[in-house]
Copies of this chain bind each other. A is one copy, B any other.
Amino acid sequence: MADQIRIAIAGHGNLGRGVETAIPKNPDMKLVGIYTRRAPEMVTPSLAGTPVFSMADLPDHADRIDVLILCGGSKEDLPEQGPRLAALFNTVDSFDTHARIPEYFAAVDAAAQANGRTALISVGWDPGMFSINRVIGEALLPDGATYTFWGDGLSQGHSDAVRRVPGVTDAVQYTRPIPEAVDLVRSAARPVLTTREKHRRECFVVLMDGADAEAVRQAIVTMPHYFDEYDTEVHFISAEEMDENHRAMPHGGFVIRSGNTSSANAQVIEYSLKLDSNPEFTSAVLVAYARATHRLARMGQHGAKTVFDVAPGLLSPKSAAQLRAEQL
């Protein structure tokens, strides 16, 4: 296609590989490059023929790329890369440190505005699709309550936290919503639920030789912020069992808005995701929003944006007339 959207990837971890996998499913796009901090020859693209460049080449490639998808992490990579690259490219990223979104938005917005670029931040499923459903649910049912449940799924942040406990070689952590709480919310009862009543946590841990299992268990279940407010189960397993049963990255969850339109009538809205692969789904969301970013940039809507600023039709390759005729 002559007018395919030229997409490039900055960073080749789980998310970058997910974007690579997603692009061929979108015929209006082509992948024009993978940019890495490693030596380019060390990176094997999953699609044969995709050129791999050094991240340092990016400033020279501004005219080759319509949208650059930033696939780095929120902790170390994006706070630096986001503003710097939004001065040079239209970008999409999955910045997910909720508490720091306002300052990240401001930094990216300043860079993008000053250079006539469009930068869509915090795209994915949470922040992202879940956020949209929280906002719409509250707007439709102002007299109501919103509940977000996560899981069953593997939490990367919590798995990392467990891996840092002395005596631990490897670990994964699963977040599980508590079925009784979910049922109560779905019944329109609008319960007030504590953190402990909504989710429980389950850890699978490989110990170092000679580590004290009970000390490790105590260190995990009492860890502030991560585990102390939850009921946490810890299972000790072998390295073999870890490799066999815990390498997939399933996740998901649901956003429920329960409200009343009148005293007689309760209404319940639920949005749910059941994901075999968390990073592949996040990448698929990034790719659809790259299409919207390209369109916003062409419409002259520059600066930082979020999913709240993107009309649903901009995500689809179909024209507005086709969407009205076929999908309204």
Contact = CB atoms under 8 A, between A and B. Distances in A.
A254 B91 CA distance: 33
A135 B327 contact: yes
B306 A328 contact: yes
Contact count band on A: 35 or more
Interface string A2-23: 0000000000000000100110
Given A270-B271, A270-B272, 18 more contacts: A25-B142, A102-B324, A105-B324, A134-B327, A135-B312, A135-B315, A135-B327, A136-B315, A138-B327, A140-B315, A262-B280, A267-B277, A268-B273, A306-B323, A306-B324, A306-B328, A308-B312, A308-B320
B273 A261 contact: no
Interface string A132-152: 101110111111000000000
Which 8 A-B residue pairings sit nearest by Cβ, starting from the closest? A308-B313, A139-B315, A261-B280, A265-B276, A265-B277, A268-B274, A139-B288, A127-B328
Interface of A: 18, 21-22, 25-26, 98, 101-102, 105, 122, 127, 129, 131-132, 134-136, 138-143, 186, 188, 261-262, 264-277, 280-281, 283-285, 288, 291, 306-313, 315-317, 320-321, 323-325, 327-328
A36 B138 CA distance: 30
Contacts of A142: 25-26
A71 B152 CA distance: 42
Contacts of A134: 327
A284 B307 contact: no
A40 B157 CA distance: 62
Contacts of A317: 139
A281 B267 contact: yes
Contact of A288 (B25, B140, B308, B313): B140
A122 B327 CA distance: 12
Which of A98, A138, A312 has the most C-beta atoms of chain B within 10 angstroms of its own C-beta? A312
A323 B311 contact: no
29 contacts: A18-B261, A25-B142, A25-B261, A101-B328, A102-B321, A105-B324, A132-B312, A135-B315, A135-B327, A136-B288, A140-B284, A261-B277, A261-B280, A261-B281, A261-B284, A262-B280, A265-B280, A266-B276, A267-B274, A268-B274, A269-B273, A306-B313, A306-B323, A306-B328, A307-B312, A307-B328, A308-B312, A308-B328, A309-B320
